[in-house]
Each structure stands twice: as C-alpha cells, then as structure tokens.
Amino acid sequence: MAGVAGVGSLIYTGYNGLKCRMFVCCDKRQISLNLEGLRNDLTHKLHGQHLVQKAVIGHIKGHNDIENPPKALVLSFHGLTGVGKNFVSRIIAENLYKGGLSSRYVHLISATRDFPHEGMVEFYKEQLKDWIEGNVTKCERSMFIFDEVDKLPASLLDAMKPYLDYYDHLKGVSYRKAIFIFLSNAGGPKIGQIMFDHWKSGKKREDIKLSDLENSVMLSAINTDSQNGLWHSQLISSHLITAFIPFLPLEKEHVKKCIKDDIIKKYLSFYPSHRHVPEKYVDEVMEELTFQPALEKVFSVTGCKRVAEKVNYVMMDKDLSRDEL
C-alpha cells in the first residue's frame, strides 16, 4: 500500500511539474527574489529616499528568507504625492514576481476605483474577504497593494485583520507568506514640516532617522477629522503593521534626477546617461514645476509625479540632432 502511495505521489509530482512548465504556477519560476536587482533599483532609480531603501530591502529579504514567517509582511508607505510610494511598490513587484505588476499573483487595489460608495461598506467587506481568501488559496505568496488607503473606511480595513494576524492557518489556508502594502498620503504634511525644519537648521537630509519621524507622523495621521484610513483601524491598535515607512518630500536635486531619468528613457539614442542630458532642457522642465514654501522653494509640490508630462511638453519641438553630445 505504501508503495502504491509513493508511486502515486511521484506521478502527481511529475504531472504538477509538467503542468507548471506549460502554464503559470505559484512556484520559483514565477516568484523569486532578485535581491541585487531590488537593491540596484532602489539605489539608482529611487531618488532622495534613504530611509525607504534600507527599510524595504531589509523587510522584503527578511520575510522572503524565512521558510515559515510568523505573519504576513505588512508595510505602510506614507508621504506626499509623487515621492515614490507607487514606484517602490512597482520595483518590489518587478524584483519578486515574473511579470511585475502584471503577474497574476500581484493585486493592486484603488480605494476610489474599487470601493467608491460609502453606503456599501458591508458588501465591500465580504467582497474583500472573499477576494483575499481566493487569491491566497491559489498562491500563498500573493502580494496586495492598497492605494489611497487613507480614503478607505476603517471598518473595511478591519475586515483584513485575520489575514494579517499571527494565525498558522485560517480554514486550512496560511496567509503568513503573503505581502500587504498600504499606500497613504496621511502624515505627509507632517513629514514635510519636519523636513523643512530639518533643512532650516542646516542639517543634512541624510542625517534624519526613522525615529525622528515615526511618532510625530503617526500622531499627526491619527489626529485628523476623518475617521477613514489605516490609522483608525484595528490593524494599528492590534500592532499588525510590520513597518511604517515615511517617504520624504523631494528637493530640486532629486527632481532633476527624475527629469534626466525620463529624458533618457524617451530619448536613449541621444542621451545614454545623466551626464549627456543637456542642463538647459532640465532647467526648462524645472521651470514648469512648482516648489514650496513660496519663499524658500525647497520641496516639489508634486514630487516627481508630473515630470513625465512636463518632459513631453518641453521636448516636443526640440531638434535633438543639433545637440552636441
């Protein structure tokens, strides 16, 4: 009998291996951490976010290296518009999942798109639970990215608590290898104020530490008129967030790097690297962007969010063949 069972197991294993060579499966062919790629992308493509680089690499590697992590990895990205929250989510996906954001195991949820009606919260709760359970049942290493989480009712976020908690299994399914990333603007203004005070005091940007921001940002986000968002949910009171990762407002030097990145991406045959991009074009794009405060003009109001469209506008009538490389 044991021999028959062993043969059956071998047949199933062989069939499963053949199936996964022909079709997409939740295995190492589809999900494998490219640590060097992650480190390289966060170092060279993400600008002005030294706190993010260290925290993301550490938590993603730590969670991935453990065969049976104690709970799902839950990262909270918070900061102003255009500072890189969505960009970092994409970088993580691209270095962990084949196909990046297009992988069937990576799921992007937009608060305003997917849960638009306040009066349907109870329906959304059941929908969200069924959706998480269904996807993790198919692949225990699924990743969920929640954008605009500050616009979600706290009670809707509460529905996710069991999947983020320290349970071995729920109805036979383990959620401990899943990744949840929450993106929020909550706390962004406070981060901006702290960074402005830091700048005014003459300190280096790179000297600011996570501990300089964490408590102030959390208190600022909690003490708002709105009762929506992560900060008012049981995920906070139950201490289920693995890490709060603040994204700093971007200064002119960082925006200039974003501009050069975009010009290279669009005109690679003319400008193969940053040093080849004419400063006159960078300056023209910078003139199209707004910086604050009004007097000092230290931080970009929209980060790098509008850079791509402003590059298109500035470059549309340029005769690049006349530039001296």
And the tokens for 199? 């700048």
86 marked among binding-site residues: yes
* Ramachandran angles phi, psi of 284, nearest 5°: -65, -40
> If DSSP states are collapsed to H, E and C, what string results for 18-41?
HHHHHCCCCCCCCECCCHHHHHHH
81 annotated as belonging to a binding site for a ligand: yes
**Secondary structure class of 196 (helix, strand, coil):** helix
Number of alpha helices (DSSP H) and beta strands (DSSP E) in the chain: 14, 7
Task: Reply yes or no: is the peptide bond before residue 153 cis, omega within 30 of 0.
Answer: no
84 annotated as belonging to a binding site for a ligand: yes
Is residue 170 annotated as involved in ligand binding?
no
- Supply angle C-alpha 136, 140, 145, rounded to 5: 65
- Helical residues (DSSP H) of the chain, grouped into ranges: 2-22, 35-44, 50-65, 85-94, 111-114, 121-138, 154-158, 161-164, 188-200, 210-222, 234-237, 252-266, 279-287, 307-315
Please choose, from the candidates 32, 92, 31, 87, the residue with its C-alpha nearest in 3D space to the C-alpha of residue 57: 92
Instruction: Indicate if the alpha-carbon torsion angle 193, 197, 202, 208 is positive or negative.
Output: negative
- 3-class secondary-structure state, position 143: strand
Token couple for 122: 């109870």
Consecutive H or E run containing 146: strand 143-147
> Could you give the CA distance from residue 68 to residue 143 in angstroms, rounded to a whole number?
16
Known binding-site positions for ATP: 79-86
Known binding-site positions: 79-86
